[in-house]
Amino acid sequence: MTTTLITGANKGLGFETARRLVAAGHTVYVGARDPERGRRAAERLGARFVRLDVTDDASVDAAAKAIEADGGLDVLINNAGMETRTEDNSVPVAASVTADHMRTTFETNVFGVVRVLHAFLPLLERSPAPVVVNVSSGLASLTHLSDPEHPAHFYPGIAYPTSKTAVNMLTVQFAKAYPTMRINSVEPGFTKTDLNGNTGTQTVEEGAEIIVRMAQIGPDGPTGGYFDVNGRLPW
C-alpha cells in the first residue's frame, strides 16, 4: 500500500488529487491547517486527516511524527500555496509589490516546501519507491514569461511567479541531492480555485491530472524535471 501526504488538501487541487489517489488505492493523508475543514474533507474522501500548517515548524514536525508512528510515507505532494491578491482580485505588480507581499508569499510557497521536505525526507528515505511532487506553475517558467509570443508573458504579478520559480530550483537541487527519489515540479494549468479568485479556465479535475500522474511514477521515472500534462516544460 502506497502512503501519500498532500499538503493543503482540504479543497481545490489538493482535494481532487486526494480523491483520485484514494481511488487508485493509496492511503492518503489530508494535510490542512484547519482541523474542522481537514477532518470533514478526509471523511468525504475516505482519507486520513493530519493537521499541518506549512508555515509552522511545530505543526509540521508533529505531522511527521504522527505519520511516522502510523507506518511511514512513500509520496509527498507539496500542494499548499497562496497568491497575494487585493480586494478587487488583482495582483500586486512591479509598481506596487512590497517586501511584505514577497515575504508572505514565500513563507507558504517556498519556505513551507523546505520545511515540509526537511521534516519528511527521513520518512521518504525508508520507502522503497519515494516520490515528491512539488506543485509549481506555468508562471514559474522564465522562458515563457520572457517570450512575448507566449500567453504567460502578459501576467503582471511579481510575488507568485517568483516564488514558484524558486520552487523549481528546489526541485532541481533536492533531486540532485537525493538521486534515489523521484522529485519533480508540475504545472497544473490555470485552474479555477480559491487561489486565483476562481478565475481559472480549467476544472480541478483537469488541473489535478499531472499531479496524480507524477505522484504515481516508479523508480525508473524522471526526476529533477518540470512537467505539465503534455510533457516537459522549459525552465
Is the CB of residue 233 less than 8 Å from the CB of residue 227?
yes
Q: Which of 11, 29, 155, 160 is catalytic?
A: 160
Decide if 164 is catalytic: yes
Amino acid at 80: A
Cα 175 to Cα 169: distance, rounded to the nearest angstrom: 10
Give the whole-angstrom CA distance, residue 192 versus residue 166: 23
For cell 511511514, the residue is 72
Please say if 29 is a catalytic residue: no
**Residue of 29, 65, 155, 164 marked catalytic:** 164
Helical packing angle, 159-177 and 111-124, nearest 10°: 20
CB atoms inside a 10 Å sphere around CB 46: 12
Handedness of CA 106, 107, 111, 112 (dihedral sign): negative
Q: What angle (nearest 5°) sits at the alpha carbon of residue 31, between those of residues 52 and 213?
A: 140
Q: Please identify every residue annotated as catalytic.
A: 160, 164
